[in-house]
Amino acid sequence: MTDSVLDIDREDRLGFPEVIYAAGKPSEVTVKLFRSLLDANGRAMATRCSAETRNALKTAFARIDIDERAQVAVCTIKPKSIEGKVAVLAAGTSDIPIAEEAALTVEFAGLTVDRFFDVGVAGIHRLIERLDKIRVADVVIVVAGMEGALPSVVGGLVGVPVIAVPTSVGYGTSFGGLSAILGMLNSCSPGITVVNIDNGFGAGVAAFRILNRRK
């Protein structure tokens, strides 16, 4: 028995189905909800899955894909496909779990994803060397911790929507991502959209909403 009430019609209203936030849920509850979404929509996704929940999902579903770093589980019996390409950038390798959560969300939505990891401002040449490939994207998601400088730089170099994701990566005065999010909110590059700390999923859905309007 579970207190959860699934929003099965969310995809009809919004274009993107309900996704399970597994943190704090018993593994058996996540498995039950996952099965219900899969039966209803032909695809299901769960984020923030603990090791116990990931193991339970692997046991319950033969065709499931698990990303251990991002702690995301996805099963797509009836995959979706819409036009559009999203570039997902991670400033450092410590930001990759959140960047992967964003990338997997975008792929779940049916969009194409290009990943560019470890392109932070400490070695800005790594970003410049990849700019031509980044600029062909329709939306750019930029994931960064520490002082959160990368989205401001990217925002001054590309002409498409930029979604900034602050992470909780950093030393003491990063205050668990507070420094990064404040830096992004105060960016001098106009028009950057900022989501909550460590919210790769929210960034992925935001990219989908931008590109889904093309239909």
DSSP-derived letter for residue 26 is -
Kindly tell me if the per-residue pLDDT of 1 is higher than 80: no
**Strands, E, within 54-124: which ranges?**
65-67, 72-76, 85-90, 112-117
What is the three-class DSSP state of 49?
A: coil
Q: Which amino acid, 187?
A: S
pLDDT band at 7 (very low <50, low <70, confident <90, very high): confident
Side-chain-side CA neighbours of residue 195 (13 Å): 22
Tens digit of each residue's pLDDT (9 = 90 or more) over 45-94: 999 999 999 999 999 998 899 999 999 999 988 778 888 999 999 999 99
Q: Give the pair of three-digit tokens for residue 90.
A: 């991670």
pLDDT band at 209 (very low <50, low <70, confident <90, very high): very high
pLDDT band at 15 (very low <50, low <70, confident <90, very high): confident
Tens digit of each residue's pLDDT (9 = 90 or more) over 123-163: 999 999 999 999 999 999 999 999 999 999 999 999 999 99
Please state, in angstroms and rounded to a whole number, the distance separating the CA atoms of residues 56 and 27: 6
Kindly tell me if the per-residue pLDDT of 215 is higher than 60: no
Q: Is the pTM of this model over 0.85?
A: yes
Q: Give the pair of three-digit tokens for residue 5.
A: 């009430």
Question: For residue 89, what are the CA distances in angstroms to 22, 33, 92, 114, 175?
Answer: 25, 31, 9, 9, 22
Please state, in angstroms and rounded to a whole number, the distance separating the CA atoms of residues 152 and 156: 6
What is the three-class DSSP state of 72?
A: strand
What is the three-class DSSP state of 193?
A: strand
Q: What is the pLDDT of residue 80?
A: 81
Among 195, 84, 74, which residue's Cα sits nearest to residue 142? 195
